[in-house]
């Protein structure tokens, strides 16, 4: 069962030091760039990033521009959401984590939500909102590591807010959720320009205008301009705009609009919030250092899965064989069970046992639990504390924990319920990937404020729904219980991989709890199976529903697996014998965006999945 010979691994790592084999047939061509690559969730937003590069901006400038554009285009996020990023600084040769996730507002406690008869904070509406993080994250990244002004970076977003031809995906999504949007007058006013008609949402291709949002963005630019006119430098001027958003008149309007709709956050909540630049976590896999943000997102679960899978001969099993898929599913279940119990905001006690969770010895112990012949429907969290020389303070809660809590066990779900659960697991975000010839690299997964969102008064800003990722019961996860000022453990998970201290890959994907599942398989597709970056973005993946969803009712469906329709019958039959319940779709990779750095030729390969509207441009 365990790998004894590393010849295949050595060859796989060697393959990554030269150009990949000839590109196989893919539905989209790979991107090739010598100077820069810009990839994100909307073609217009990728164009905005390309324009910044053409004007001399670096990858930080371009990434911030694409972030602003996608937030304006409602690509499953809005300006009231949150931003998570990994940056590579070529001057220091360090990877930097960017934590721009909002926090629970004043009054958001377990007692408060239980008093409303809730088992978890709500999915949608004003009580689902944490404080906005994306504006602060954008401005702080730009101030610290960019080269351009805020006015230059926001110019495309302001033009889009003034009016852009809306794409069918967003227009039709607005129409499908119009009943919910009508609960909030400002949302209906902005999103339903044809109120009373049979179709109240914009038509695909219609100019969609957001004058309130355009005015808010222009206020940020005006604050920067006033600071520059007063003799402030570029960084100080951007921070003046930051202060106007979080402490000035924009903050006042944002709080007033939120509280009028029934939300909780206050002026003090906004003023006290901070962006954190932090050290990410990383593990080696076959000589490649893989970097993730820490436990305030789910990213370390991918690192845990890699540690577990390193003990197996994946190449020998064969790509998407029954043995490979089973081993992958079990490793992910082990890692995600730990996520569901041990991950939370590292800026709040108790301290997460990160050293133990990412220990290679702990991974070897977890790998021994994998049964080769059968799915384990009740994989539970392990005990990482001994692997960092400590005793587990939550042993009593751990002893009571099951994959599916006993109180929720019921009759098999209906087809409608299964589809609803799939939507919970795959709730979208977007991704922003950028790199330049100077060596700056960005991997970003912003999210929050997706449709149907509450728009806060006349600010034009759609509020986050991230509160739902908290729990109320410490026995479920003692690290992720809602408290004022605390960040919910989010699903958002950018990735960077380095080899010999230099960037090798930058990759990210949207899709809730499926993100690190898709990214894990993308990485293995390149490292273990020698795919090119475009092949790996389009390749058939599996999706597991055994972990607890981070949204809605936090449900799980042990043994349930989504497979690509291309999986052959003999693999399907073997997986059924191992206890899996199978569902099929044509595309299962998720909209993965990625850059691979071709060190042999000094160029960059970009990949953008054939799933969704994600798009890239390179030069």
**What would the DSSP string read from start to end of 515-566?**
HHHHHHHHHHHHHTT---HHHHHHS---EE--SPPSSTT----TTEEEEETT
How far apart are the C-alpha atoms of 512 and 424, rounded to whole Å? 8
How far is CA 606 from its chain centroid? 19
How far apart are the C-alpha atoms of 463 and 580, rounded to whole Å? 38
pLDDT reading at 406 higher than 60: no
How far apart are the C-alpha atoms of 507 and 47, rounded to whole Å? 19
Question: Does some domain include residue 176?
Answer: no
Residue 76's pLDDT is 82
The backbone region for 65, taken as left when phi is positive above 0, alpha when psi lies in -120 to 50, beta otherwise, is alpha
How far apart are the C-alpha atoms of 583 and 564, rounded to whole Å? 8
Could you report the per-residue pLDDT of 207-218, keeping only the tens digit for each?
999 999 999 999
Percent of the chain past pLDDT 70, that is, above it, reads: 92
pLDDT higher for 10 or 273? 273
pLDDT reading at 417 higher than 80: no
**Nearest residue to 37 via CA among 607, 531, 614:** 607
Question: Does some domain include residue 407?
Answer: yes
How far apart are the C-alpha atoms of 524 and 314, rounded to whole Å? 9
The backbone region for 196, taken as left when phi is positive above 0, alpha when psi lies in -120 to 50, beta otherwise, is left
Q: Show the tokens assigned to 80.
A: 């009231």
Are 442 and 594 a contacting pair, CB within 8 Å? no
pLDDT reading at 429 higher than 50: yes
Q: Show the tokens assigned to 334.
A: 């082990």
How far is CA 205 from its chain centroid? 28
Residue 276 pLDDT level (bands cut at 50, 70, 90): very high
- Domain extent at residue 487: 33-163+209-619
Residue 421's pLDDT is 65
How far is CA 461 from its chain centroid? 20
95 SS3 class: strand
Could you report the per-residue pLDDT of 28-46, keeping only the tens digit for each?
999 999 999 999 999 999 9
Own/partner pairs for 1-6, CB < 8 Å, 24+ apart? 1/312, 1/370, 1/372, 2/311, 2/312, 2/313, 2/367, 3/310, 3/311, 3/312, 3/313, 3/316, 4/313, 5/313
Q: Show the tokens assigned to 571.
A: 């693999």
Residue 242's pLDDT is 98
Number of domains in the chain: 1
- Per-chain mean pLDDT for the chain: 93
pLDDT reading at 86 higher than 90: yes
Could you report the per-residue pLDDT of 320-368, keeping only the tens digit for each?
999 999 999 999 999 999 999 999 999 999 999 999 999 999 999 999 9
Residue 5's pLDDT is 34
Segment among 22-31, 276-285, 340-349, 482-491 with least mean pLDDT: 22-31
Query: Burial, 44: exposed, middle or buried (Cβ in 10 Å; 0-12, 13-18, 19+)?
Result: buried
How far apart are the C-alpha atoms of 188 and 406, rounded to whole Å? 41
Q: Show the tokens assigned to 250.
A: 């924009």
Label residues 48-82 b or e (16+ Cβ within 10 Å = b): bbbbbbeeebbbbbbbbbbbbbbbbbbbbbbbbbb
Residue with tokens 């806060």: 456
Query: Burial, 561: exposed, middle or buried (Cβ in 10 Å; 0-12, 13-18, 19+)?
Result: buried
How many residues are there in the chain?
A: 619
Are 546 and 555 a contacting pair, CB within 8 Å? no
Residue 8 pLDDT level (bands cut at 50, 70, 90): very low
Percent of the chain past pLDDT 90, that is, above it, reads: 88
Residue 589's pLDDT is 82
pLDDT reading at 13 higher than 50: no
Residue 404's pLDDT is 84
How far apart are the C-alpha atoms of 269 and 346, rounded to whole Å? 19
Question: Does some domain include residue 174?
Answer: no
Q: Does the reported pTM lie above 0.75?
A: yes
Could you report the per-residue pLDDT of 175-211, keeping only the tens digit for each?
999 999 999 999 999 999 999 999 999 999 999 999 9
- What are the distances in angstroms from CA 507 to CA 39, 141, 151, 307, 443? 10, 19, 28, 19, 6
Question: Does some domain include residue 594?
Answer: yes
For residue 117, give every residue at least 6 positions away whose Cβ sits within 8 Å of its Cβ, in sequence order, or none.
Answer: none
pLDDT reading at 24 higher than 80: no
430 SS3 class: coil
Residue 19 pLDDT level (bands cut at 50, 70, 90): very low
239 SS3 class: helix
How far apart are the C-alpha atoms of 429 and 85, rounded to whole Å? 13
Segment among 501-505, 566-570, 613-617 with least mean pLDDT: 613-617
> C-alpha angle with apex 570: 565 to 575, nearest 5 degrees?
80
Question: Does some domain include residue 180?
Answer: no
Residue 18 pLDDT level (bands cut at 50, 70, 90): very low
DSSP 451: S
Residue 294 pLDDT level (bands cut at 50, 70, 90): very high
Question: Does some domain include residue 12?
Answer: no
Query: Burial, 154: exposed, middle or buried (Cβ in 10 Å; 0-12, 13-18, 19+)?
Result: buried
pLDDT reading at 22 higher than 50: no
Segment among 6-20, 34-48, 510-524, 572-586 with least mean pLDDT: 6-20
Are 618 and 32 a contacting pair, CB within 8 Å? yes
> In the predicted model, what is the mean pLDDT of residues 380-391?
98
Torsion from C-alpha of 262, 263, 268, 269, nearest 10 degrees: 170
Segment among 90-99, 150-159, 410-419 with least mean pLDDT: 410-419
Residue 172's pLDDT is 95
For residue 240, give every residue at least 6 positions away whose Cβ sits within 8 Å of its Cβ, in sequence order, or none.
Answer: 223, 224, 226, 227, 232
End-to-end CA distance of the chain: 45
Question: What is the chain's percent helix, strand, coil content, to nearest 5?
Answer: 40, 15, 45
Question: Does some domain include residue 263?
Answer: yes
How far apart are the C-alpha atoms of 321 and 341, rounded to whole Å? 30
**Nearest residue to 439 via CA among 197, 322, 580, 602:** 602
Q: Show the tokens assigned to 432.
A: 């922003």
pLDDT reading at 60 higher than 70: yes
pLDDT reading at 20 higher than 60: no
Count of C-beta atoms within a 10 Å radius of residue 16: 22
Question: Does some domain include residue 223?
Answer: yes
């Amino acid at each position: 069962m365990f790998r004894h010979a590393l010849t295949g691994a050595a060859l796989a790592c060697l393959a990554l030091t030269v150009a990949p084999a000839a590109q196989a047939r893919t539905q989209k061509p790979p991107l090739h760039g010598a100077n820069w690559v810009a990839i994100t969730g909307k073609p217009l937003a990728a164009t905005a990033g390309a324009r910044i590069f053409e004007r001399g901006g670096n990858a930080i400038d371009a990434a911030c521009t694409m972030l602003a554009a996608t937030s304006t285009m409602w690509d499953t996020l809005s300006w009231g959401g949150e931003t998570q990023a990994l940056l590579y600084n070529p001057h220091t040769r360090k990877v930097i984590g960017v934590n721009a996730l909002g926090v629970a507002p004043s009054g958001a406690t377990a007692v408060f939500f239980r008093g409303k008869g809730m088992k978890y904070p709500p999915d949608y509406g004003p009580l689902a909102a944490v404080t906005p993080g994306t504006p602060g994250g954008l401005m702080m990244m730009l101030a610290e590591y960019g080269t351009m002004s805020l006015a230059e970076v926001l110019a495309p977003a302001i033009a889009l807010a003034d009016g852009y031809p809306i794409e069918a995906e967003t227009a039709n999504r607005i129409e499908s959720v119009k009943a919910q949007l009508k609960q909030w007058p400002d949302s209906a006013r902005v999103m339903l320009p044809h109120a009373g008609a049979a179709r109240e949402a914009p038509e695909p291709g219609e100019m969609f205008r957001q004058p309130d949002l355009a005015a808010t963005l222009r206020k940020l630019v005006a604050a920067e301009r006033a600071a520059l006119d007063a003799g402030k430098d570029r960084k100080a001027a951007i921070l003046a705009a930051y202060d106007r958003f979080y402490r000035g008149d924009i903050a006042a309007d944002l709080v007033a609009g939120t509280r009028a709709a029934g939300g909780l956050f206050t002026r003090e909540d906004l003023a006290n919030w901070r962006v954190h630049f932090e050290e990410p976590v990383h593990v080696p896999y076959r000589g490649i250092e893989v970097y993730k943000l820490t436990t305030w997102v789910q990213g370390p679960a991918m690192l845990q899965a890699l540690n577990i899978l390193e003990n197996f001969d994946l190449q020998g099993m064969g790509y998407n064989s029954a043995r490979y898929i089973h081993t992958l599913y079990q490793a992910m279940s082990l890692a995600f069970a730990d996520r569901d119990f041990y991950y939370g905001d590292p800026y709040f006690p108790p301290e997460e046992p990160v050293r133990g969770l990412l220990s290679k010895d702990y991974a070897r112990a977890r790998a021994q639990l994998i049964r080769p012949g059968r799915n384990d429907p009740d994989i539970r969290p392990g005990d990482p504390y001994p692997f960092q020389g400590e005793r587990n303070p939550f042993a009593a809660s751990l002893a009571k924990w099951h994959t599916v809590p006993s109180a929720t066990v019921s009759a098999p779900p209906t087809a409608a319920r299964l589809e609803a659960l799939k939507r919970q697991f795959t709730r979208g975000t977007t991704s922003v990937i950028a790199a330049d010839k100077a060596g700056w690299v960005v991997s970003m997964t912003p999210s929050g404020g997706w449709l149907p969102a509450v728009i806060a008064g006349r600010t034009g800003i759609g509020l986050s729904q991230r509160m739902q990722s908290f729990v109320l019961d410490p026995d479920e996860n003692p690290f992720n219980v809602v408290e004022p000022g605390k960040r919910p453990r989010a699903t958002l998970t950018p990735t960077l991989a380095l080899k010999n201290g230099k960037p090798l890959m930058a990759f990210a994907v949207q899709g809730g709890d499926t993100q690190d599942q898709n990214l894990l398989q993308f990485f293995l597709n390149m490292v273990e199976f020698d795919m090119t970056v475009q092949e790996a973005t389009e390749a058939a993946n599996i999706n597991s529903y055994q972990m607890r969803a981070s949204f809605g009712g936090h449900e799980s469906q042990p043994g349930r697996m989504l497979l690509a329709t291309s999986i052959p019958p003999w693999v399907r039959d073997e997986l059924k014998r191992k206890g899996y319940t199978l569902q099929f779709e044509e595309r299962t990779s998720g909209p993965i965006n990625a850059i691979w750095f071709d060190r042999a030729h000094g160029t960059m390969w970009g990949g953008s999945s054939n799933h969704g509207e994600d798009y890239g441009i390179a030069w």
